[in-house]
């Protein structure tokens, strides 16, 4: 029994070493530049060990996306109690800053996922499909959070519009940060928070005018 547990622990340790090495290489070289040979060299494990855990490079990249997405979620879920006297707007801005911080600490799922989504090649079906799934999960999470925050103020369509705006802004700012590391993601996401709150006010005003027009 102890030997089985030791074997499982050793197997999991090897798997994590492979994922760590692959994530580093993918971050440096992208999907195309990542190879099983390089992962083997970086991890210090034979290619046979990599293929024992992962069928091919596509599944290895998918595993990186899944792991880093889960790490991003963990960072997002860290509860930071609001300071006394903090306004709703300040709480909203702080939440967006936490999003940026979590993204900075676990960037691989978005970096690799955006690349796979834009290239639309058929040979990373697993990785691309997984990214689209986790992206949809993230979108639904934003919608749920905004439904609670703007409860009684905005209808479902308006909330989805704000969630779409938030995701599009996150994608754009992440790419800007990838191009120029001087771009401060946390500061930029604070501006996004202000933009979303402004958009929410616009949607409330438009909804009010629409109701008056129908009266």
* Res 31: pLDDT: 84
Local structure of 84: helix, strand or coil: coil
How many CB atoms within 10 Å of residue 93? 20
Radius of gyration of the chain from Cα atoms?
A: 21
* Res 125: pLDDT: 79
First to last CA, the chain: 75
- The pTM of this model reads 0.80
Summarised one tens digit per residue, pLDDT across range 118-140 is 876 666 678 888 898 989 998 99
Rounded Cα distance between 159 and 165, Å, is 10
* DSSP 8-state class, residue 124: G
Q: Identify the top-confidence range among 27-41, 81-95, 96-110, 186-200.
A: 186-200
What integer is the mean pLDDT of 177-203? Answer: 93
Q: Which domains does the chain have, with CATH numbers?
A: 1-54 (1.10.10.60), 58-214 (1.10.357.10)
How many CB atoms within 10 Å of residue 189? 22
* Res 208: pLDDT: 60
Rounded Cα distance between 17 and 22, Å, is 8
Between 124 and 99, the higher pLDDT residue: 99
* DSSP 8-state class, residue 122: G
In the numeric block, the tokens 């940026």 are attached to 100
CB 37 within 8 A of CB 47: yes
Give the chain's length: 215
């Amino acid at each position: 029994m102890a030997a089985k547990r030791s074997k499982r622990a050793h197997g999991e340790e090897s798997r994590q070493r492979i994922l760590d090495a692959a994530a580093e290489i993918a971050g440096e070289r992208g999907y195309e530049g990542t190879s099983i040979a390089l992962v083997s060299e970086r991890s210090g494990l034979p290619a046979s060990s990599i293929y024992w855990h992962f069928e091919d490079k596509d599944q290895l990249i998918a595993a990186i996306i899944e792991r880093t997405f889960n790490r991003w979620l963990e960072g997002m879920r860290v509860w930071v109690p609001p300071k006394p006297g903090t306004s709703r707007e300040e709480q909203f801005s702080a939440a967006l800053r936490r999003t940026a911080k979590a993204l900075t600490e676990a960037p691989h799922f978005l970096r690799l996922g955006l690349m796979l989504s834009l290239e639309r090649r058929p040979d990373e079906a697993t990785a691309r499909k997984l990214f689209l799934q986790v992206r949809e999960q993230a979108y639904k999470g934003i919608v749920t959070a905004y439904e609670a925050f703007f409860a009684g103020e905005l209808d479902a369509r308006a909330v989805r519009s704000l969630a779409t705006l938030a995701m599009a802004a996150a994608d754009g700012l992440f790419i800007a940060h990838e191009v120029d590391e001087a771009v401060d993601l946390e500061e930029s996401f604070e501006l996004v928070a202000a933009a979303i709150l402004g958009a929410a006010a616009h949607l409330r005003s438009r909804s009010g005018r629409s109701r008056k027009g129908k009266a």
